[in-house]
Amino acid sequence: MKVLLIDINKCNGCYNCQIACKDEHVGNDWSPIAKPQPDTGHFWMKVTDIVQGSVPKVRVRYMHDICQHCDDAPCIKACKSNAVYKREDGIVIIDPNKCTGNRNCVDACPYKTIYFNFDLNIAQKCTMCAHLLDEGWKEPRCVDACPTGALRFGEEEELKELIADAEILFPEYGARPRVYYKGLPNKYFVAGSVYDPDDDEVLEGATITLTNQQTGATSTIVTDLFGDFWFERQEPGVYQLKMEIDGYIPLIINDIEVTKDINVGDFELRKGR
Amino acid sequence: MQKKGNTVQTGTDKKTEKTVVKGLSFLGVNIDSNMVSVDVKDNKIIRIRPFHYDWKYDVEPWSIEARGKTFKAGTKALIPPFTLAYKNRVNSPNRVLYPLKRVDWDPNGERNPQNRGISKYERISWDEATDIIAAEIRRIIDKYGPTAILTQADGHAETKVVHAPHGCCCRLLDLLGGFTMQSRNPDSWEGWYWGAKHVWGNEPLGKAAYQSNIVPDMAEHTQMMLYPGCDPETTTWGWGGQTVSQLCYWFSELGIKQVYICPDLNYGAAVHADKWIPILPNTDAALYLGIAYYWIEKGTYDKEYVDTHVVGFDKFKAYVMGDEDGIPKTPKWASEKTGIPSRIIKALARAWASMPTSTAHANGGGLIRGPYATENARLEVCLLGMQGLGKPGRHMWSTIEWGMMGDETPPHKFGKSIPIPRRKRYPNLDPASRGPSLINPECPQIIPKDKFHQAILEHSAENPMTWYGTVHCRELTENQFVKYQYPEPGCSEIHMIWTDSPSLMTCWNDSNYIAKAFQSPKIEFILAQHPWLENDCLFADIILPVATKFELDDIGVDNLTAEFGAVFLDPKCVEPKGESLSDYEVVCAIAEKLGLLEELTQGKTVEDWIKVGFDASGIEDVISWDEFQEKGHYVIGHDPDWYKYEVALRSFAEDPENNPLTTPTGKLEFYSQRLAEHFPDDEERPPIPKWVEKGESHDERLSGDRAKKYPYLVVSNHPRWRVHSQHDDMQWLREIVTCKMIGPDGYAYQTIWINPKDAEKHGIRNGDVVEAFNERGSVLVGAYVTERIMPGVVSIDHGARYDPIVPGCLDRGGAINTITPRNTTSKNATGMVSQGFLVDIKRADLDALRREYPEAFSRPYDRGSGLMRERVIKD
């Protein structure tokens, strides 16, 4: 059974995967696996820029949306024409010859990764390049084109260790995806800095404590040589931030709402006990 | 054919007729990279995919070890997206399919030069086209002499060898007595070339040209890497692929702190930065001076090194500390210029002084192409010198152009250019090239590319133009003291232009003024030959259709890719579109009409020239011609003794007396005696590098009066989704959010990055069409409102295709270079300025524009790839 692993931490955002898919499927007819993809507008492997934070604490993560090739695929159940099927290797295919264009699968997919081809009146999506795998290729085009190793494809057994700490997208849907993720943008950074306005200096070595006001969970880090702190991958919630360094009056900020990555700003600490 | 391990999908699958190996890079001049396998069937490109080096050869990738970790190069080419999507470019609806003549250009009557860029074109036959061209060449040479013909012997394009563009007509014109050459400036490294060379030599580029084995050294010793205006995830792509991205990830893994100093969160910073320090474009000189002040004040620079490796430190110090001009260049002073809080400048200065620090560059970026960029570059080298340049972990790393000049960068004794394990050999196919020879010292007259407009519009034999340097962007420093003139005595003014790399409008400086030069009645004939009907083609009188490299047989060499080198046959995949011919074949067709075909070809066919290339390549001793033809390519691995080569500048660092630099003193020249002697009164590039607020050449700072009217500084990087002017028609790239912004009118506008604070001030929302303008003109762009750009700065990548609403005034394509400064870097530095200049922005009133210019807004337009040829062809 095949799996795809998408490690967002390793993605440099080159979009090769999105483009390789188009290179393979636009203008090429791979029936019975897939008919040609329209010239533009379909993204069977879709990359989305997620810009996080605010100046000067900003990062970009590149989300990848692709058919999850679910083991309990809503699209298979929703199709009234029996056009959607699962192969022995786990890949879910919409048979372009059986599809009648009723779009039930498009509506049923909770991951919104099925597209409709108005010219051909069929639903279309990622095939994992099954037409190539069937000829001996070991990877779909998107994986072959990936320069960073952010995309890995193979037998579940072979990639077992790599996917052990990976996540699936929206487990609550119960669709049992065959696509795994690392670094999903579902936890957030809380970043900022501290400085001494009187000396006009950053404060390196300050102890910063971030406490989730609901759960009480606490993390502590020390500011770097720019006086910066970055708490990585925090759960959404309401937080307290405590900033301390010897010789300065501690500063506490309450009720920081973390619903996305956040640059809480540059904080002045004043000398005192 | 299946092979071991991870090497899949190399070989012919049963649905495809054949698989060929090609290079697909965009440097354009004989040296290729970005190797691909192309599957072809029935005159159709099925797919373009990364080449796997172990398809037909057993290959051994190089590896580097540092701090207990190993970096191992891969066995596939890490190609960029525009290589992968190149089918779009071959099949673009903007291809020129047959010869075209401007409808109101009559070589025997009225030429209507004023209508260039406005009037449409009609189809003519090859026979008619070559008759007209041959007659015009004869007429112009008879009337004015051969130097009346200007050739564009440079540019960026598909890399080809036998069929190379960039002045493919030069050899024919040589047979006719010569020509005037439009000479290339170092357009991506202006400040290094015109500035840093005066500090450290580093011939011929001025940036880190010698960088033998510094990547392993940095991996072991560097603790902080600075990326000033550097985007290792963009500019490296066009001619080196994506290996540098891998190295940046590895450096993070090794614990090297990666600090980006740039106005925008560029694509490297977006994924690699541990720290982003936003800086106002082109103010890096002030940052460096503030850091130098802090080091001198605290005594935290390498005094022993400075004593033994530097000349002129006392004068430099006097300027920095304010003894010379009464202005101490404190971090606070620097803060006001750069927009960086002074506490951050001090923290950066402390960090740099406390740990081995290197800087990285990738051409372009806010630091190197602005007014007075010489000073940014000189000061960076000075700072590297103050911390022991060449000692372990202390280097300047150029992330691009490895092997562009082979492995040698004479005349320097540290002349190895490759920062990673070098290869066994660096082949050379120049003997097969039918394009221009890069340096043509015989050329009787030149015009610098960045002064082209001024030459045409402002000068004549009675009022000649003069400037210093440069015949070519690889001249040695001495050339910067040579004074040139146009017209040269005995030479003609320009009356004909022959271009095969028509991209001045979207890549060069103040191109609205270039549009006016194209419309000058002095220019009697403009001939363009190009695969696509884009940019300067729109000003030509005759346009000839050229085949892409998928449509012809050639030979290629890859010296630029990090993983492996290769020589390959570069064969034809599909038939040429329409009536297109290769650049070389076009010149041959014209030569035939001039009776010079035999002399031009030397009796050789294209196949003969390919064989000439192979025979002189440098691999002919290790593989036979027959085997090479059968395999289609030859892979070159690394030199097993690579680690024995010196780390660049190490011997200079250790013993400067016996290992001098190529500067006159052999030392790092903080004070340049040469500049003092040649240009004693030049306050724009003085003997000591300085902060130049404004001068006779430029007034582009926020402190000036112009900033009241035009309050935003522009950063204009080398484009992420193009290579200069190339690839703007690729529909799969245009779907990417940072590439194009679809306006309410369905037109895909070039993005402008605007900070939310600035957008709010102007009532601009994400996706709005915006006018960016100054007194030089106006361009329409699409708002990308983002935290990736600092307030007060807007970012517009250069190279978007020119789509004039009013030629010379208003552009819909977003070709930002239409409104860049006209003057060169400074009065005696003949570099181009395309960064760090002032504009204002406002929401565009599309309805009003559409009413005023109905024709421009109703031209045929392809939703996927944009501009199409029909827009300029007469019904």
d(CA B685, CA B687): 7
Search chain B and give the residue with CA nearest A198. B343
Q: Are residues B381 and B456 in the same domain?
A: no
Q: A202 vs B732: CB contact, 8 Å cut-off? A: no
Q: A141 vs B344: CB contact, 8 Å cut-off? A: no
Q: Are residues A251 and A139 in the same domain?
A: no
Within-domain flag for B18: no
How many alpha carbons fall within 13 Å on the CB side of residue B836?
32
> Residue A45: which pLDDT band, with cuts at 50, 70 and 90?
very high
Enumerate the residues of chain B whose CB falls inside 8 A of the CB of residue A24: 47
Helices B331-338 and B342-354 cross at an angle (nearest 10°) of: 120
d(CA B788, CA A112): 28
Q: Are residues A130 and A229 in the same domain?
A: no
Q: A144 vs B76: CB contact, 8 Å cut-off? A: yes
Looking at A182, A199, A234, which one is the last position of a domain? A182
Q: B9 vs A139: CB contact, 8 Å cut-off? A: yes
Task: Tell me phi and psi for residue B41, to 5 degrees.
Answer: -145, 135
Enumerate the residues of chain B whose CB falls inside 8 A of the CB of residue A135: 13-15
Within-domain flag for A101: yes
Smallest Cα–Cα separation from B310: which of B646, B672, B650?
B672
**Domain that includes residue B147, residue range:** 100-184+444-633
ipTM exceeds 0.95, yes or no: yes
Within-domain flag for A48: yes
Q: Are residues A176 and A236 in the same domain?
A: no
Contact B716, B798 (CB under 8 A): yes
Contact B838, B712 (CB under 8 A): yes
Taking only the tens place, the pLDDT of each residue in A83-129 is 999 999 999 999 999 999 999 999 999 999 999 999 999 999 999 99
Q: How many CB pairs under 8 A join A and B?
A: 150
Within-domain flag for B53: no
Enumerate the residues of chain A whose CB falls inside 8 A of the CB of residue B350: 225
Q: Are residues B180 and B195 in the same domain?
A: no
Within-domain flag for A113: yes
Looking at A147, A182, A217, which one is the last position of a domain? A182
Among the partner residues B233, B347, B791, nearest to A12 by beta-carbon distance: B233
Search chain A and give the residue with CA nearest B756. A54
Lookup result for tokens 């024709």: B855
Q: Are residues A160 and A224 in the same domain?
A: no
Q: Are residues B726 and B828 in the same domain?
A: yes
Search chain A and give the residue with CA nearest B12. A135
Among the partner residues A12, A135, A141, nearest to B271 by beta-carbon distance: A12
Instruction: Give the gap in angstroms from C-alpha B360 to the nearest C-alpha of chain A.
Output: 18
- Residue length of chain B: 875
Enumerate the residues of chain B whose CB falls inside 8 A of the CB of residue A137: 8-9, 13
Instruction: Give the gap in angstroms from C-alpha A147 to the nearest C-alpha of chain B.
Output: 5
Lookup result for tokens 């196949």: B607
Q: How many domains does chain A have?
A: 2
d(CA B448, CA B455): 9
Contact B423, B431 (CB under 8 A): no
Q: Are residues A145 and A201 in the same domain?
A: no
Smallest Cα–Cα separation from B204: which of B592, B479, B13, B523?
B479
Smallest Cα–Cα separation from B338: which of B297, B374, B291?
B291
d(CA A194, CA B59): 52
> The domain that contains A24 carries what CATH number?
3.30.70.20
Among the partner residues A23, A139, A202, nearest to B347 by beta-carbon distance: A202
Search chain A and give the residue with CA nearest B346. A201
Structure tokens at B386: 């103050």
CA B864, B866, B871, B872 torsion-angle sign = negative
* One-letter identity of residue A239: Y
Q: A226 vs B78: CB contact, 8 Å cut-off? A: no
Which residues make Cβ contacts (< 8 Å) with residue B841, sequence separation at least 6? B712, B752, B754, B758, B762, B764, B770, B771, B772, B773, B794
Mutate to test the interface with B, among A9, A48, A60 (most CBs of B within 10 A): A60
Smallest Cα–Cα separation from B562: which of B86, B159, B257, B215?
B215
Enumerate the residues of chain A whose CB falls inside 8 A of the CB of residue B731: 39-40
Stretch A264-273: mean pLDDT:
94
Q: A56 vs B738: CB contact, 8 Å cut-off? A: no
Mutate to test the interface with B, among A14, A28, A39 (most CBs of B within 10 A): A14
* One-letter identity of residue B332: K
Instruction: Give the gap in angstroms from C-alpha B872 to the nearest C-alpha of chain A.
Output: 24
Among the partner residues B46, B267, B350, nearest to A13 by beta-carbon distance: B267
Q: How many domains does chain B have?
A: 3
Q: Are residues A34 and A153 in the same domain?
A: yes
Residue B16, SS3?
Answer: coil
Q: Are residues A38 and A8 in the same domain?
A: yes
Search chain A and give the residue with CA nearest B86. A23
Instruction: Give the gap in angstroms from C-alpha A238 to the nearest C-alpha of chain B.
Output: 23
Lookup result for tokens 């040469």: B674
Among the partner residues B87, B351, B787, nearest to A54 by beta-carbon distance: B787
- Residue length of chain A: 273
Strand-pairing partners, residue B528, are B499, B543
Q: Are residues B716 and B810 in the same domain?
A: yes
Within-domain flag for B89: no
Q: Are residues B294 and B395 in the same domain?
A: yes
Give the rounded distance of the alpha carbon of B646 from its chain centre: 29
Q: Are residues B478 and B389 in the same domain?
A: no
Taking only the tens place, the pLDDT of each residue in A173-194 is 999 999 999 999 999 999 999 9
Contact B567, B633 (CB under 8 A): yes
Structure tokens at A49: 């820029």
Within-domain flag for A212: yes
Task: Give me the residues of chain B with pLDDT under 70, please.
Answer: 1-16, 405-415, 437-441
Q: Are residues B342 and B362 in the same domain?
A: yes
Q: B344 vs A55: CB contact, 8 Å cut-off? A: no
Mutate to test the interface with A, among B340, B355, B735, B753 (most CBs of A within 10 A): B735
pLDDT for res B388: 98
Strand-pairing partners, residue A167, are A181
Q: Residues B12, B16, B21, B26: what is their CA dihedral angle, to the nearest 10 degrees?
A: -150
Within-domain flag for B807: yes
Q: Helix %, strand %, coil % for chain A, to 5?
A: 15, 40, 45
d(CA B234, CA A15): 12
Among the partner residues B48, B271, B733, nearest to A13 by beta-carbon distance: B271
Strands B740-742 and B668-669: unpaired
The helix/strand count (H/E) of chain B reads as 29, 38
CA B639, B644, B650, B652 torsion-angle sign = negative
pLDDT for res B14: 54
Residue A176, SS3?
Answer: coil
Q: A147 vs B342: CB contact, 8 Å cut-off? A: no
- Tell me how many degrees the CA angle B811-B813-B819 measures, rounded to the nearest 5: 50
Q: Are residues B151 and B273 in the same domain?
A: no
Contact B590, B133 (CB under 8 A): yes
Q: Are residues B403 and B455 in the same domain?
A: no
Strand-pairing partners, residue B661, are none
Q: B738 vs A19: CB contact, 8 Å cut-off? A: no
pLDDT for res B1: 34
Q: Are residues B498 and B532 in the same domain?
A: yes
Q: Are residues A126 and A208 in the same domain?
A: no
Q: Are residues A229 and A172 in the same domain?
A: no
d(CA B315, CA B326): 14
Within-domain flag for A175: yes
Strand-pairing partners, residue B50, are B36
Within-domain flag for A273: no
Among the partner residues B46, B788, B864, nearest to A51 by beta-carbon distance: B788
Q: Are residues B310 and B329 in the same domain?
A: yes
d(CA A44, CA B693): 51
Stretch A159-173: mean pLDDT:
96
> The domain that contains B327 carries what CATH number?
3.40.228.10
3-state secondary structure B274-285: CEEECCCCCCHH
pLDDT for res B7: 36
Q: B9 vs A144: CB contact, 8 Å cut-off? A: yes
Looking at A161, A182, A203, which one is the last position of a domain? A182
> The domain that contains B736 carries what CATH number?
2.40.40.20
B44 class by beta-carbon count within 10 Å (0-12 exposed, 13-18 middle, 19+ buried): middle
Strand order in the sheet with A151-155: A151-155, A2-7, A179-182
Within-domain flag for B432: no
Q: B8 vs A136: CB contact, 8 Å cut-off? A: yes
**Domain that includes residue A199, residue range:** 188-268
Enumerate the residues of chain A whose CB falls inside 8 A of the CB of residue B9: 132, 137-139, 144
Within-domain flag for B45: no
Enumerate the residues of chain A whose CB falls inside 8 A of the CB of residue B332: 200
Enumerate the residues of chain A whose CB falls inside 8 A of the CB of residue B241: 147
d(CA B573, CA B350): 57
Q: Are residues A34 and A152 in the same domain?
A: yes
Q: A51 vs B787: CB contact, 8 Å cut-off? A: yes
Q: Are residues B214 and B240 in the same domain?
A: yes
Instruction: Give the gap in angstroms from C-alpha B46 to the nearest C-alpha of chain A.
Output: 7
Q: A225 vs B342: CB contact, 8 Å cut-off? A: no
Within-domain flag for B868: yes
d(CA B734, CA B740): 5
Strand-pairing partners, residue B233, are none
> The domain that contains A230 carries what CATH number?
2.60.40.10
Instruction: Give the gap in angstroms from C-alpha A60 to the nearest C-alpha of chain B.
Output: 5
Backbone Cα Rg of chain A: 24
* One-letter identity of residue B127: D
List, as own/partner pairs, every contact residues A100-109 make where C-beta atoms lie below 8 angstroms and the sequence separation is at least 24, other chains included.
A104/A78, A104/A79, A104/A80, A105/A74, A105/A75, A105/A78, A105/A79, A107/A78, A108/A74, A108/A75, A108/A77, A108/A78, A109/A67, A109/A74, A109/A75
Q: Are residues A204 and A117 in the same domain?
A: no
How many alpha carbons fall within 13 Å on the CB side of residue B542?
25
d(CA B656, CA B635): 39
- Which DSSP string do the residues of B216-253 spell out, in sequence order? HHHHHH--EEEEET--TTTTTHHHHTTHHHHHHHHHHH
Task: Tell me phi and psi for residue B673, to 5 degrees.
Answer: -60, -35
Q: Are residues A203 and A170 in the same domain?
A: no
Stretch A1-20: mean pLDDT:
98
Within-domain flag for B642: no
Search chain B and give the residue with CA nearest A135. B13
